[in-house]
Every structure is written in C-alpha cells, then in structure tokens.
Chains A and B, each alone.
Chain A
Amino acid sequence: MSNNSVTTRPQVLVSIDGAPPKLDRLSPAAAALRDQLDKQTAEILARYPDGPRSALLPLLHLVQSVDGRVTPHGVEYCAAVLGLQKAQVAAVATFYTMYKRKPTGEYLVSVCTNTMCNVLGGQEVYDTLSALLGVGHDETTADGRITLEHAECLAACDYGPVLTVNYDFYDEVTPESAVDVVDRLRAGERPAPTRGARLCSLKEMAVQLAGFADERDGAVAGPGAGPATLRGNLLADRHGIAVPGFDPQTPIKVGEGRPPVTRVPAANKPASDGKPAGDSPLPQREHLKDAKGGDA
C-alpha cells in the first residue's frame, strides 16, 4: 500500500464483452500476473456478466495458482481487474480459510478434527502427523513439500476419520495409514486417494477452484462413491426394493383455461426402467463385498 499511483482505477469492466481488461500502471509483480493470467481472467469475468465483482473469489483462487498463496501483488491484480481498492480485496481474502497468506507446500494435508472424526480417531491422526512433520496447524515443512492443517467437517462423516490431500479424500485413516500417505508424499510419490482424482499440486488445484475443468486424462472419472455412499442403495437393490407406482408418463396438471404448450420435440427413446446401467460393471458391489466380508 506504499504507492497510491499504482492503484488508479483502471478501465476494466469492458471485459464483459470479451475485450481484454486494460490494466496499466501495475507494480512489476502484479503486471507479471496480468500478463500470465489475462486469458483466464477474461473467461472468469464472462461467467458474471450481471455482477463482475462475483469474479473475485475465482480470481483469488487464480492468483493462488501462480503464487501458492494470496500475495500483496495478487491482491493488487484482483483489485485492478475489478476496479476495487486493495483493502476491499484483502478484506475478502482474509475471510476465507482456503486463501492462504503464508507460502504453502506442494501438498495441503487437511485432517478433519471436528466432532465425529475426532471421536473416531481424527485427533490422534492430526497429532501424529504434526509430530512426524514437526509443524503445527497452517505450517509448512522446511522442504516446501507439505502444509498441514486441521480442518472442520469435510462432509464425509460416513468415512471418518478422513484426511484430504489437496482436497481429495483418504477415507477411514489411522495414524499409521496417514503416516504412510505423508511419507510417500515426502518421497516424491503421489499415493492414490480413496475418492477423487489422482493427485496434482496445490497450485494446479487452485486452477480448478477458479472454475476451470480438470483436463487431465481420466481425472473426472476418478472414484466418486465408496462403499458407505452406496450402502442404503445396495441394501435396497439386494432385496429388490423399489418405490412402487412410478410412471414417468404421469401427466402434469394444466392450469384451468390454459392451452397445453406443445413445442418440445419428444425424446427419440423410450423411458428406461431406471435399473442400473452404464459402461462399466458395478465395481462398487465388489468393493463392498471386500469391505464388509461378504455382506454384499
């Protein structure tokens, strides 16, 4: 915030029409960000034609993808793009836990220590990793490989205790299995998560968080459902339970005096019976059998 001349309000919101934002008079570091992120910035802005400031959260993720954290020049860049004061951007950046203000490692290891994971052993997992790595919450190992944090509920209580690496899941961890994951990360390996895509770096993940597709081959197809997700379903399937009376042709009641609208081409296929289908067999069933000793 030392030099006011670098924050003159730029002519920005033109990027709504696809024109590149005109951002002159940036500090050299922010100008470098601009040169690197120009195209992605325009794509982000195009998602919010009615309210360009909505681009701020994705833009903050985007600058993290370069710097591994929200740096002062990252703040400067976001402010310039959106015609905001740097203080306004900093106020937002400091509110959200996923925006890091200190340098981060290649991998962010988050251990859930909220109540359910906690009583199932999550606290021991966190304490073990903290002792192993010699770092505490929101701290990074000296080799720049791993940032450790304890996280609040990660919405996977049926797999507790869980940890995530760059937000992909390792389910039902123990202190031993968590140490194994971390040891392999430190050795330069990328152990496969239980659910999610194969690991990438935290900076690469920030690009996805900014709203861009994961272009890596097969990433989207990474495991989505583990055994717990499907338990109720498999139980119903195994016992032949379905909700009776479902008829997809049930007419929609038309309001009185209103002629029906018939402008939609019908689908050129019959309605299915809703039974499981797909390109692959059901690996989850095998999965469950293994997990529960023949339960499926």
Chain B
Amino acid sequence: MSEPGREVLAKLTPVLTKRWLSPDAWKLDVYERLDGYLALRKALAVHPDDLIQLVKDSGLRGRGGAGFPTGLKWGFIPQNDGKPHYLVVNADEGEPGTCKDLPLMTCDPHSLIEGVIIASYAIRASRAYIYIRGEAVHAARRLRQAVNDAYKAGYLGRNILGTGFDLDLAIHSGAGAYICGEETALLDSLEGRRGQPRLRPPFPATHGLYACPTVVNNVGTIASVPYIVLGGADWWKSMGTEKSSGPMIYSLSGRVNNPGQYECGLGITLNELIELAGGMRPGHRLRFWTPGGSSTPLLAAEHADVPLDFESVAAAGSILGTTATQIFSDQDCPVYCTYRWIEFYHHESCGKCTPCREGNFWMTRIYRRILSGQGSHEDLDTLLDVCDNILGRSFCGLGDGATSPVTSSLKFFKQDYLDYIEGRTAPRLSAKVLAGAH
C-alpha cells in the first residue's frame, strides 16, 4: 500500500471532522475548549439578517444531496408574519453508502447544536427539532446528553446568554423508514403520521411543520454554520470550487484498502480519493461506483477523474448526492448490485404514488428472473419502460432515485445483463426466489 502523494494529501480539509480526533469532544467542557460556542456568541451579537447574508455569501449548499443554497433557503422564511417558525434538522441518514452524519453527531454533537441555535436565531425560530434516524441510537445518546448539557449551560432555553433569545430543542427519534429522509415526509413523520411526502408547492419555507414556515436542513449543512460564522465567508470559499464551496465529508466504502470518512474540498476526484484511501484492494480493479449514494446514477472507471462537485458530476450524467462513494470492482456484478438496490427501494417505497410502489415491485421480479437465468431480452426493454414510468411521476425523489442504478447500469453494463440472459454467466440466484410471482 502506497502513501498518498503530497499534492493529493493537500486536498484534505479537516474542518467539520477536526474535533473527531478529540475523543471527548462530545463533552461540553472539551467542546468549549476547542472553540465551542464561540461562534454562537459572535452570531448573537449581530442582526439575524446579517447571518443570512453571511451564509449566502459563503455559498454554502445543502449537504443532504440536493445542494440547494442554504442562505437562499433561510431567506425564503417570511418575516413578521405572526406565525411560529421552526428549524428541523434532517438527521435521518439512510441513503445507501452514506455514513457521514452519524459519526458527526456521535463525535461532535455540540457543533450541530451550536449550528441549530445560530440558524434558529437567523430565521427567528424559537423551537427546533433534530429528527434522527431511529436506528442511530448511539448518536442519539450523545445528542441527548449534549442537549441537556447545553440547557444547563444556558445555550438553550430562555434568554440565551442574556440576549433575550429563546430556543427549545428536542431530539426526535424516527422509527425505521428511509422515506423520512425526504423533507416533506420527514415533516409528516414528525407530526406523528405515516412518513409520506407532500405535494409541493407549498414548500416548507411557508407551510412546513404544523403548516408554519420551516427550514429543513441536513446535519452537515447546519454543522457547517459555526465554522462560517467564525472563519468568514471568504475563508469558507477558499475551499472547494467557485460554485460548490467549502469542505465536504466524502464517505468511501467498498473495495479500497482504507474505507472511511475523508473531508476534502468539493471538487476532488475519485482517483484522488482512492489514493487517499490507500488504493484499491489487492486484486481489485475499479469498475463502477456511486458518486453520492445509490440514488445517484452509477459511474464507470472512465469517470474517475470527474471533479466531485455539484456541477461537474451533473455534467458527467450523475448527481453529487451525499458524496457517498461506494466503490465496486471487477469482482462485483453490477446487475446483482442493482438488484439489491431495487429490493431496497421496493421495501422503502412509502406506497403513496403508484408508479414508485408498483414499478419497484415489478422491477424486483424482473431482476430475480434475470439473475436466476430465466430472463429474456424483452426484460431489458421492460426495465427501461418501467423506469420511464417512474421517473418524474412520483411526488418525491425516492422513485426517481430508484431508476438511477437501473438506467445507468443498463447504459454502461448491458453486456453483463446479456450474459445472464444468454447463459454465459451462471445464475446468481436460485429459481426458488421466483416462487409466487413472475
């Protein structure tokens, strides 16, 4: 295993992850020794509108996948409307491949809480919720402890730091539903309903939680705010690219020597990330990968030099998403991988929209048929046809995301499908899985 070169090492930008090296940074006193709650004091000393402008100036874009400009989102909240405002943090991390928010909340929960307080002050919210994935129990333990400590220290509650600003924050555990990572489904779930997406407009900025103006932001987005408040917009923009500013936590998994979390400026390439991760595992050659979770179209080895920022990945035909790069090699089968993802989308489809609910169901059946050696050439046309009928025809992005691995794997790896259909590849699944439905 070779050491990464100096030039590639210089692309590391430990900002949000930096405190993770301090094992006790989740404790309030340690956090305070590491610049903790310094940004809050600074933020509460300026007008909320100046904070919204600061975040706009920084170019911060949402870290949950869509990359929407954060300052713009905050600016959409109507002011002096007489309604309560809410900040809801989307901590329902579950996109396959993504594992950046859970370690952040586990290792450095106060940075998220400090970001919550600053963001709430900026949008004039006096109540905030962190909706955390139910299964993330250890991150929730640390967060609950951190919230309690922050209340005791006067960072939460009434008259925060004597400024007259009030904020209550509660940690809300979900109950196992990937769809609740979609912001409107999350809001329905937080209101005690089935997590099903809402038709937009109206958008959460005007009709969110309890039909009141609401900002829903990802963990990484909100945790970025204290650093922008401290270091300033220009410093933030010194990392990343012009249109995709700042550092980003890239989650590397799969066939590399050192999978893990690598925080780099937006715009690093997969080849560089693989170099940071000590190269591909012995005997493995890069074949396909996801730039940002399974809902982003697969890319092939030829795309390993695409800068991983919002614009460049879109130009290459995919989506930056959550920067969860799942790395697969020549020993992995793109048809089988896609099949497993479709089983996932089928399981997680909330059932509200027919194209997604039924389409994913039938695609699992077609994949089982192909993988058990009983597929036909017509199946490939049917898959594309089903995708055509899901994409853009469901309320939320889950359906769109489900089509990503299917259409992209058919685009780059059609031969792998044909090899199953024409009998050159041994069946991967036994015919048992076909019982019941064909």
A binds B: yes
Contact B229 A252 (CB under 8 A): yes
| B397 beta carbon closer than 8 Å to chain A | no
Contact A158 B253 (CB under 8 A): yes
| B276 beta carbon closer than 8 Å to chain A | yes
Among B238, B264, B276, the residue within 8 A (CB) of A245 is B238
Give per-residue flags for A46-70: 1 if the beta carbon is below 8 A from chain B beta carbons, else 0.
0110110111111011000000000
Bound complex: CA A225 to CA B230 (Å): 26
- Nearest neighbor of B54 in chain A, beta-carbon distance: A252
Nearest CB on A from B261, distance (A): 6
**B207-243 interface with A by 8 A CB criterion:** 209-210, 229-232, 234-235, 238-239
Contact B326 A157 (CB under 8 A): yes
Contact A266 B174 (CB under 8 A): no
Contact residues in A for B178 (Cβ distance below 8 Å):
152-153
Among A211, A231, A236, A280, the residue within 8 A (CB) of B171 is A211
Nearest CB on A from B185, distance (A): 10
Known: A50-B84, A243-B15. A255 touches B232 (CB 8 A): no
Secondary structure of the B contact surface, majority rule = mixed
Bound complex: CA A61 to CA B326 (Å): 33
Contact B22 A277 (CB under 8 A): yes
Contact A95 B177 (CB under 8 A): yes
- Nearest neighbor of A162 in chain B, beta-carbon distance: B99
**A207-239 interface with B by 8 A CB criterion:** 208-214, 219-220, 222, 224-225, 227-237, 239
Bound complex: CA A254 to CA B50 (Å): 6
Contact A153 B97 (CB under 8 A): yes
Contact A158 B251 (CB under 8 A): yes
Q: Which of B339-347, B353-361, B365-373, B383-391 contacts its partner?
A: B339-347
Q: Which of B72-80, B137-145, B198-206, B304-312 contacts its partner?
A: B137-145
| A282 beta carbon closer than 8 Å to chain B | yes
Nearest CB on B from A284, distance (A): 7
**B122-147 interface with A by 8 A CB criterion:** 127, 133-138, 140-142, 144-145
Contact B135 A167 (CB under 8 A): yes
Contact B46 A261 (CB under 8 A): yes
Bound complex: CA A272 to CA B194 (Å): 46
| B318 beta carbon closer than 8 Å to chain A | no
Bound complex: CA A152 to CA B98 (Å): 12
Bound complex: CA A118 to CA B337 (Å): 9
- Nearest neighbor of B264 in chain A, beta-carbon distance: A232
Contact B137 A167 (CB under 8 A): yes
Nearest CB on B from A174, distance (A): 16
Contact residues in A for B23 (Cβ distance below 8 Å):
224-225, 278, 280-284
Known: A57-B174, A157-B324, A228-B261. A241 touches B144 (CB 8 A): no
Contact A168 B172 (CB under 8 A): no
Bound complex: CA A5 to CA B98 (Å): 49
Contact residues in B for A214 (Cβ distance below 8 Å):
141, 144
| A114 beta carbon closer than 8 Å to chain B | yes
Contact residues in B for A47 (Cβ distance below 8 Å):
170, 172
Nearest CB on A from B203, distance (A): 19
| B431 beta carbon closer than 8 Å to chain A | no
Contact residues in A for B175 (Cβ distance below 8 Å):
57, 60-61, 96-99, 209
Contact residues in A for B320 (Cβ distance below 8 Å):
none
28 A-B residue contacts at CB 8 Å?
A: A50-B127, A95-B177, A96-B195, A115-B337, A115-B344, A116-B97, A116-B326, A154-B135, A158-B99, A158-B252, A195-B138, A197-B138, A197-B141, A209-B175, A210-B173, A211-B173, A222-B138, A230-B21, A231-B261, A232-B263, A232-B276, A235-B4, A243-B239, A250-B234, A254-B50, A264-B45, A264-B162, A283-B23
Q: Please name 6 further chain A to chain B contacts, defined as beta carbons within 8 Å, in addition to the given A54-B192, A166-B137, A211-B170, sorted by A numbering.
A: A96-B175, A155-B93, A155-B102, A233-B261, A272-B35, A278-B25
By a beta-carbon cutoff of 8 Å, the part of chain A in contact with chain B is 47-48, 50-51, 53-58, 60-61, 82, 91-92, 95-99, 110, 113-116, 118-120, 151-160, 164, 166-169, 195-197, 205, 208-214, 219-220, 222, 224-225, 227-237, 239, 241-248, 250-255, 258, 260-267, 269, 271-272, 274, 276-284, 292, 295
By a beta-carbon cutoff of 8 Å, the part of chain B in contact with chain A is 1, 4, 9-10, 12-15, 17-27, 30, 32-35, 37-39, 41-47, 49-51, 53-54, 57, 84, 93-99, 101-103, 106-107, 127, 133-138, 140-142, 144-145, 148, 161-164, 170-178, 189-195, 209-210, 229-232, 234-235, 238-239, 247, 250-254, 258-264, 276-278, 294, 324, 326, 328, 332, 336-337, 340-341, 344, 347-348, 350
